[in-house]
Amino acid sequence: MSIIYDKKQRTITLHTDHTTYQMQIDRYGFLLHLYYGGKADGCMDYLLTYYDRGFSGNPYEAGTDKTYSMDSLPQEFPSLGTGDYRTPACIIKNTDRTYCSDFRYVSHEIRDGKYALPGLPAVYADTAEAQTLEVVLEDPVTGVRAVLLYGVLPRYDIITRSVKIVNASQGYVSVKKLAPACLDLLGGEYDFITFYGRHAMERNCQRMPVGHGVHKIGSLRGTSSHQYNPAVILAARDATEDAGSCYGMAFVYSGGFQSEAGMDQYYQTRVLMGFSEEQFAYPLNPGEELQSPEVILTYSGAGLGQLSRNFHRCIRTHLCRGKYKEKVRPILLNSWEASYFDFTGESLLKLARQAADLGIEMFVLDDGWFGNRDSDLRGLGDWYVNEEKLGCTLGELIGKINGMGLKFGIWIEPEMVNEDSDLYRAHPDWAFVIPGRRPNRSRYQLVLDFSRKEVVDYIFDRICAVLDQGNVEYVKWDMNRSLADVYSATADSQGRVLHDYVLGLYDFLERLVERYPDILIEGCSGGGGRFDAGMLYYTPQIWCSDNTDPIDRLEIQYGTSFIYPASCVGAHVSASPNHQTRRVTSMKTRGMVAMAGTFGYELNLNELDSEEKDEIRRQIAEYKKYASLVQTGTYYRLTNPQTDNQGAWEFVSEDQKEALVQVVGIKKHANMTVDYIKVRGLKENTMYRDTQSGRLYNSTALMEAGVPKPVLEGEYQAFQWHFVCEE
Ligand code: GLA
């Protein structure tokens, strides 16, 4: 039993293999948070302290007891209006136009299996693998209910949280703020680790002390965004990669979000994760409900590395779906950096022939194959194959490519429309434009109103009509701008549109996944602008960044690795000098960095000399040797490329018998000092052989003392060790 209700103490305790989470229904019916951390037993309500604290008011029923205040007590779902003046998880505008919600315990239920969320992505599990806790809270005056859901996956050290607001009142209410996850921690000093960035430089890691005041990150863009990732970590000040307490929250949502962390007047820390408040006012008529997306929570008492590994295992095996989720993905060649919009059917076939000759397994036709799309000025929305440009039908092109022994994949951007398109001319009101205002353009395109079913239905039918033309085995789903001018002609309230847009997107994706279960879908939004756990439910891999420079990628993939497994990270070998940075790097270095994800190529193979082509052949053979280890192995960060001389990481097989350590030099000096790379995750005191040199090493020595990284000639050199257990 992973969820235990103690009737006497009125505690509900959630246990995973290594963690415990406890809450208590207190004497006034408030649901208080008692503990989340390493595995522990017994009632922990002794942690709550009661003092008469000035300007911290008391609920009416506390009578003359001035020591009881919601202003200092840790809570599961704090709302505005109870006398808690900290940042709330929920604000509801009631029928009487007040903003008070006073949620009290009504009932709870424990059941086997993990809850699912209708219309939303969520962690899934077999009935025997998980349990669900549902706690019903209600405001006794308005009748509005908050139904808290907890999913517990003991073996994975994962707890998920979601909340449903049910308008059981007699009138109209509006949900102004909703954060399904709240963590109130009584003691300790913490750092808030967030992942900020920009287009082509996503998920840089920032670690900041949580101080007084609220530190808030988020996205107002209608998507999870390049600028902040919807996942955060709260780490004890002294937590490192290998030691210390840390808590992670990953939002399973692809729209706007916010996460807030702050210390209150009594030095207690609160962290929230939920919808972005701006432009959010979700209307609920009597009887209607709003189900929030869920947040994946995990705790590690053994540092950030273990926290990441908890997320990786859960996301890879219990969030990603489809036939490819645990499979090595086909090595692809993407046409974008090879030819951008400038191609013909003939030039594509020439490229494909070259790809097949080198051992590449799939050809992906990127942007430019439809409508009038020869540049980013026009064509989005017109999902009709440009047969004139291809010189044949799509079916014929696919047939020829399949004939070379290659799978075929295609790029789409369903959520967008150019003003210069037949679709926009026919349905100008289908795009987000506020009547009377000129819209904000981005890459010359506007966003289609996916909160409207007829828009989703139309585009879905058009995309299916394309995919049905041949043997399409992969789709790259792109999304190349942020939302603006949010106005939906048919919505009863504009405060619902951003969320309904995301629901429309998920509805489309769900239908696509159902109709084409064998197609591998890769997510993309100008690279990693929508790299989130929500998308990963539909697309088991996401193009990590439009930046293919391997040295920049070290940092991007490092930041990404805190939450997301390597099997989700789209990574390609591109040209040198790199198209984004003009940096020159070797094929080996580019290959090694791309191999730490779902491997592929994205360059004009026809421009390579025979030596480079041979190198690619060798690289592909090598990748195949390690692909399964990379896709399903346990991941360790060995350095921090933001500050260290090199980027280094490691994949260890589940049975710990094999490990691949990869290192790429970043900083270079004359008379270079030697760095020692400490290997991780091997069996203790066991002999391992480095398969390249044949040398035997004691594993504990490798882990405690490390191995000296060779000082190699030239810049950005790559090096790897492959250790195999001798037992
Ligand atoms: C985005 C993607 C690229 C490419 C282009 C095509 O920028 O991230 O990989 O597909 O769009 O327009």
Contact 543 CB / ligand 1 (< 6 Å): yes
Q: What is the mean pLDDT of residues 708-724?
A: 96
Q: Which helix (H) or strand (E) is 272 found in, with range? A: strand 269-275
Nearest to 623 by CA among 655, 600, 649, 654: 600
Q: What is the mean pLDDT of residues 487-500?
A: 97
536 Cα: distance to centroid of ligand 1 (angstroms): 18
Contact 277 CB / ligand 1 (< 6 Å): no
- Distance CA(371)–CA(604), nearest Å, equals 24
User: Which residue has a Cα nearest atom 12 of ligand 1?
Assistant: 367
The residue out of 266, 294, 318 marking a domain boundary is: 318
Q: Which helix (H) or strand (E) is 424 found in, with range? A: helix 422-426
Strand-pair partners of 43: none
Nearest to 18 by CA among 245, 199, 200: 245
- Distance CA(564)–CA(231), nearest Å, equals 10
Distance of CA 282 to CAs 429, 468, 663, Å?
22, 38, 49
Distance of CA 565 to CAs 207, 312, 320, 562, 633, Å?
21, 5, 11, 8, 9
Residue 581 has pLDDT above 90, yes or no: yes
User: Which residue has a Cα nearest atom 1 of ligand 1?
Assistant: 526
546 Cα: distance to centroid of ligand 1 (angstroms): 7
Question: Is 559 a domain residue?
Answer: yes
pLDDT digits (tens, 9 = 90+) for 342-400: 999 999 999 999 999 999 999 999 999 999 999 999 999 999 999 999 999 999 999 99
Number of Cβ within a 10 Å radius of residue 691: 14
pLDDT digits (tens, 9 = 90+) for 168-213: 999 999 999 999 999 999 999 999 999 999 999 999 999 999 999 9
- Distance CA(688)–CA(681), nearest Å, equals 12
User: Which residue has a Cα nearest atom 7 of ligand 1?
Assistant: 526
Q: What are phi and psi of 304, to 5 degrees?
A: -70, -30
Six-digit token pair at 340? Answer: 């951008």
Best of 336, 413, 535 for a ligand 1 pocket test (most atoms within 8 Å of beta carbon)? 336
Six-digit token pair at 12? Answer: 């509900």
- Give yes or no: residues 190 and 147 share one domain: yes
478 Cα: distance to centroid of ligand 1 (angstroms): 7
Q: At what angle do helices 394-403 and 345-358 cross, to 10 degrees?
A: 20
Q: What are phi and psi of 398, to 5 degrees?
A: -60, -40
Cβ–Cβ under 8 Å, residues 532 and 251: yes
Cβ–Cβ under 8 Å, residues 20 and 95: no
Cis peptide leading into residue 577 (ω within 30°)? yes
Contact 602 CB / ligand 1 (< 6 Å): no
636 Cα: distance to centroid of ligand 1 (angstroms): 30
477 Cα: distance to centroid of ligand 1 (angstroms): 10
- Give yes or no: residues 273 and 407 share one domain: no
Contact 658 CB / ligand 1 (< 6 Å): no
Q: What is the mean pLDDT of residues 78-89?
A: 97
Six-digit token pair at 638? Answer: 């060995």
- Distance CA(636)–CA(378), nearest Å, equals 44
Whether 614 is a known active-site residue: answer: no
Cβ–Cβ under 8 Å, residues 518 and 132: no
The residue out of 581, 598, 627 marking a domain boundary is: 627
Contact 370 CB / ligand 1 (< 6 Å): no
Contact 546 CB / ligand 1 (< 6 Å): yes
Contact 600 CB / ligand 1 (< 6 Å): no
- Give yes or no: residues 533 and 660 share one domain: no
Question: Is 505 a domain residue?
Answer: yes
The residue out of 582, 599, 627 marking a domain boundary is: 627
Question: What is residue 703's three-state secondary structure?
Answer: helix
Contact 411 CB / ligand 1 (< 6 Å): yes
523 Cα: distance to centroid of ligand 1 (angstroms): 11
Catalytic one of 546, 549, 552, 675: 546
Q: What is the pLDDT of residue 727?
A: 84
Nearest to 178 by CA among 78, 268, 83: 78
- Give yes or no: residues 550 and 657 share one domain: no
Question: Is 546 a domain residue?
Answer: yes
Contact 555 CB / ligand 1 (< 6 Å): no
pLDDT digits (tens, 9 = 90+) for 24-72: 999 999 999 999 999 999 999 999 999 999 999 999 999 999 999 999 9
- Give yes or no: residues 450 and 511 share one domain: yes
Best of 340, 442, 478 for a ligand 1 pocket test (most atoms within 8 Å of beta carbon)? 478
Six-digit token pair at 264? Answer: 């209150």
Atom number, ligand 1, closest to the C-alpha of residue 526: 8
Share of the chain above pLDDT 90, in %: 99
Atom number, ligand 1, closest to the C-alpha of residue 527: 8
- Give yes or no: residues 529 and 654 share one domain: no
- Distance CA(655)–CA(572), nearest Å, equals 29
- Distance CA(489)–CA(452), nearest Å, equals 9
- Give yes or no: residues 238 and 297 share one domain: yes
- Distance CA(85)–CA(78), nearest Å, equals 10
Question: What is residue 305's three-state secondary structure?
Answer: helix
List the CATH number of the domain containing 106: 2.70.98.60
Cβ–Cβ under 8 Å, residues 709 and 674: yes
**Per-residue DSSP letter, 528:** B
- Give yes or no: residues 344 and 400 share one domain: yes
Nearest to 218 by CA among 192, 184, 245: 192
List the CATH number of the domain containing 700: 2.60.40.1180
User: Which residue has a Cα nearest atom 4 of ligand 1?
Assistant: 336
Contact 480 CB / ligand 1 (< 6 Å): yes
Q: What are phi and psi of 544, to 5 degrees?
A: -70, -35
Exposure string of 194-219, with b = 16+ CB inside 10 Å and e = fewer, is: bbbbebbbbbbbeeeebeeebbbbbb
Distance of CA 712 to CAs 637, 664, 667, 668, 717, Å?
22, 10, 12, 10, 7
Catalytic one of 84, 191, 478, 549: 478
568 Cα: distance to centroid of ligand 1 (angstroms): 17
Q: Which helix (H) or strand (E) is 154 found in, with range? A: none
Map tokens 């003009």 to a residue.
Answer: 582
Best of 366, 413, 476 for a ligand 1 pocket test (most atoms within 8 Å of beta carbon)? 366
- Give yes or no: residues 312 and 387 share one domain: no
Q: What is the pLDDT of residue 648?
A: 98
Best of 339, 374, 411, 442 for a ligand 1 pocket test (most atoms within 8 Å of beta carbon)? 411
User: Which residue has a Cα nearest atom 3 of ligand 1?
Assistant: 526
Q: How many structural domains are present in the chain?
A: 3
239 Cα: distance to centroid of ligand 1 (angstroms): 38
Q: The dihedral of CA 49, 52, 57, 62: what is its sign? A: positive
Distance of CA 549 to CAs 366, 578, 599, 644, Å?
19, 6, 14, 18
Question: Is 636 a domain residue?
Answer: no
Six-digit token pair at 358? Answer: 């080198």
Question: Is 304 a domain residue?
Answer: yes
- Give yes or no: residues 339 and 310 share one domain: no
Question: Is 531 a domain residue?
Answer: yes
List the CATH number of the domain containing 606: 3.20.20.70
* Side-chain half-sphere exposure of 425, counting CA atoms within 13 A: 6
pLDDT digits (tens, 9 = 90+) for 507-525: 999 999 999 999 999 999 9
- Give yes or no: residues 310 and 366 share one domain: no
pTM over 0.95: yes
pLDDT digits (tens, 9 = 90+) for 397-412: 999 999 999 999 999 9
pLDDT digits (tens, 9 = 90+) for 150-178: 999 999 999 999 999 999 999 999 999 99
Question: Is 475 a domain residue?
Answer: yes
- Give yes or no: residues 314 and 462 share one domain: no
Q: The dihedral of CA 689, 693, 695, 701: what is its sign? A: negative
Whether 102 is a known active-site residue: answer: no
pLDDT class of 242 with cuts at 50, 70, 90 = very high
- Distance CA(358)–CA(616), nearest Å, equals 7
664 Cα: distance to centroid of ligand 1 (angstroms): 27
Cβ–Cβ under 8 Å, residues 662 and 650: yes
Strand-pair partners of 689: 696, 724
Question: Is 641 a domain residue?
Answer: no
Cβ–Cβ under 8 Å, residues 16 and 156: yes
Q: What is the pLDDT of residue 1?
A: 80
Q: Mean pLDDT score of the chain, rounded to an integer?
A: 98
Q: Which domain holds residue 155?
A: 3-318
Indicate the pairing of strand 472-477 with strand 407-412: parallel
185 Cα: distance to centroid of ligand 1 (angstroms): 42
Instruction: Give the amino acid at 222.
Output: G
Where helices occur in 279-380 by DSSP H, the ranges are 303-318, 336-339, 345-358
